[in-house]
Structure 1
Amino acid sequence: MSTALLTHRDGLLHVTPPGMPEQEARLDYIQRALADLDLIRVDPPIADDASIALCHPQDYIDFVRSKVPTDGFAGLDRETDAETFLSPTSYNAVWRAAGGAVKAVDMVLDDEVQNAFVAMRPPGHHAEQSLPMGFCIFGNVAIAAKHALEVHGLERVAVVDFDVHHGNGTQALLQDDPRALVVTSQQIPLWPGTGQASDRGPHGTVLNIPLAPHTDSTHAIAEYERQVIPALIKHQPELILISAGFDAHQDDPLAQLNWTADTYTTLTDMLTQTAQDVCKGRVVSVLEGGYDLDALAACARAHVQSLMKATQ
């Protein structure tokens, strides 16, 4: 089988204020970095409210819809930060980011492709039930996980988040469901200030892996070998989802880890091999962070090439 790429020009129309690191150029760089690869290219659909409501209450969905401005920018943050905005052309991007994650799950579980990468923005792993934050509006990967459980009837799924920031939203959206294992590695100390190893969630299905500033790839890979892979094998997910943030790269301006593009190749290889062992190779990866544009492009390409290699 093959690898699907779900991306759309609407992701370029989610405009953010000047100077914001989560900018439309992020997707442009990724799309150009993947342009020559032999991928099954699919337009991500606009999600319906029922899919988003797997993780977010309807009044929050309605709130987001109501905040799309006719001009300028509308801030969404509720007493958290000042980083999450909508522009007049954001609506399709926001709803397609969620819809792409859901569509990717459908394609993988229906055996249309072996694995998939959803290259859309805005990202999602900081969004909580009714709380947008950290550039994130809907919990795209958590919605995809719930879709796999509730619509496809899977008994167990796992999310692995290697973004440099803690996936507090994904944890909040999934930790009450013992069918979902949530694994997230992150630099600590760093915003949003959560993700301590002692936080295992109410069912013991959360695995937080704090990494000290300046942690290099050797240590990170060792922690994945020591903690992440055994946790996945123990949980036996029928689908592995990846929150693919590329901001642990040594050039990223928002953090201080020392990963390289090769780190993402190795981690993706490890995850796809584990997927081969436990869930027929089924992997859905969803874009999160990454704010040095050249590093983002190189890391996304390395990640997707590893996904492609796993289908051969």
Structure 2
Amino acid sequence: MTTALITHADCLGHVTPDGHPERVARLEHVLHALESLDLMRVTAPLATDDDLQRIHPASYMQMLASKLPGGGFQQLDADTHMSPGSLEAAYRAAGAVLKAVDMVLAGEVGNAFCAIRPPGHHAETAIPMGFCLFGNAALAAKHALDHHGLDRVAVVDFDVHHGNGTQDLLWNEPRALVVTSQQMPLWPGTGKPEETGPHGNILNIPLAPESDGTVMRAAYEAQVFPRLRNFAPDLIIISAGFDAHADDPLAQLNWQTEDFTWLTDQLCALAAELCGGRVVSTLEGGYDLQALAQSTRAHVEALIEAAR
């Protein structure tokens, strides 16, 4: 089996103001880092509004469309902007995760990585925020559950910022386990351990500023891996943010590239044990360009090895 790399040039058309950390160069560096790897390269389709209504109301898509600028930028909140190409990019990003789920569940590939932007894990039910417009990981989970009829799906989010959007979108979904580790305190301020959801389907792992990969590994071994084994998902979705790296400018965790390799190896081993190795990973954060490129390559190399 092989690993699919799903992306689209439209994701480079989402332009942000000068100096914004979530910039076009992020995806350019990621794609350059993956150029030499043996991957099945797949063009991301456009998601439809019907697809997106699994997680967002129609009024939300209408609101975003009404904000799309004809030129320049439209600021949605302090951190989130739209340019003329942003909606096309967001629909391609959502389409990428849908395609990844379809391919992995059909057995066409062993696993898949979606190299996309804008990211998704901060977008709530009807609120764009944190650079995100659509909740890509949550959409992948709902697509797997409702369209493909899976019984259980797990989302594991190791971005340094709490995946408040994924938590919000899957809060009332007992068939989805949401596991998210994040620096605390840090924006957006959510992700406390007591946020467990109405069905006990949320597991938050706060990590102290300046803690390193040793602390992360201990937390995952003690809390996350046993919880995943107990839940026994039919598919694991990874929100792969690389901003916990020590070089990242937006946070204060001290992970190294090898920590992302270790964590990906462990999640893929669990997937092999629990769900036939079925993993879909989607790019979230990571704002030091070199660290992002190195860490993403390490993550994808681990996916490739797991799919063999």
Q: Given the two structures, how large is their TM-score scaled by the length of structure 1?
A: 0.98
2:62 counterpart residue number: 62
Partner of 1:117: 113
Q: Aligned partners of 1:89 and 1:200: how far apart in 2?
A: 37
Q: Which residue of 2 aligns with 1:233?
A: 229
Per-residue CA deviations over 1:246-275 (Å, capped at 9, x if unaligned) read 000000000000001100000000000000
Paired residue total: 308
Partner residue, 2:280: 284
Of 169, 172, 190, the residue aligned with 1:176 is 172
Q: Which residue in the other structure is 1:31 paired with?
A: 31
Inter-partner Cα distance in structure 2 for 1:272 and 1:198: 28
Is 2:6 the partner of 1:10? no
Partner of 2:89: 93
State the distance in 2 between where 1:131 and 1:224 align. 30
Cα shift at 1:9: 1.3
- CA drift of 1:91 comes to 2.3
Aligned mates of 2:171, 2:234 — CA distance in 1:
18
Structure 2 residue identity aligned to 1:139 = G
List alignment gaps of at least 5 residues for structure 2. none
Kindly report which structure 2 residues correspond to 1:52-201, keeping only aligned pairs within 5 A, or say none. Answer: 52-77=52-77, 82-201=78-197
Task: Look up the SS of the partner of 1:60 in the other structure.
Answer: helix
Aligned to 1:220: 216
Amino acid of the residue matched to residue 55 of structure 1? I
Task: Note the 1:266-281 alignment, pairs <5 A.
Answer: 266-281=262-277
Greater shift, 59-68 or 284-293, is seen at: 59-68
Q: Which letter maps to 1:30? A: V
Greater shift, 87-96 or 188-197, is seen at: 87-96
Instruction: Please give the root-mean-square deviation of Cα atoms over the aligned residues, in Å.
Output: 0.6
Displacement of 1:75 in angstroms is 1.4
Q: Distance in 2 between matches of 1:9 and 1:252?
A: 25
Q: 1:301 aligns with which of 291, 294, 297?
A: 297
Q: 1:24 is aligned with what amino acid?
A: V
Distance in 2 (CA, whole Å) between partners of 1:75 and 1:98 is 21
Please, what TM-score do these two structures have when normalized by structure 2? 0.99
Q: For residues 270 and 21 of structure 2, what CA distance do their matches in structure 1 show?
A: 33
Quote the offset at 1:143 in angstroms: 0.4
Q: Give a deviation string over 1:30-66, Cα, whole Å, max 9, x none.
A: 0000000000000111100111110000000111122
Separation in structure 1 between the aligned mates of residue 83 and residue 161 of structure 2, nearest angstrom? 25
C-alpha displacement of 1:162: 0.1
Q: How many angstroms does 1:148 deviate by?
A: 0.2
What amino acid is aligned across from residue 297 of structure 1 in structure 2?
A
**Identity within the alignment, %:** 62
Instruction: Supply the distance in 2 between the matched residues of 1:161 and 1:73 (Cα, whole angstroms).
Output: 29
Task: Report the equivalent of 1:258.
Answer: 254
Per the alignment, in what secondary structure is the counterpart of residue 258 of structure 1?
A: coil
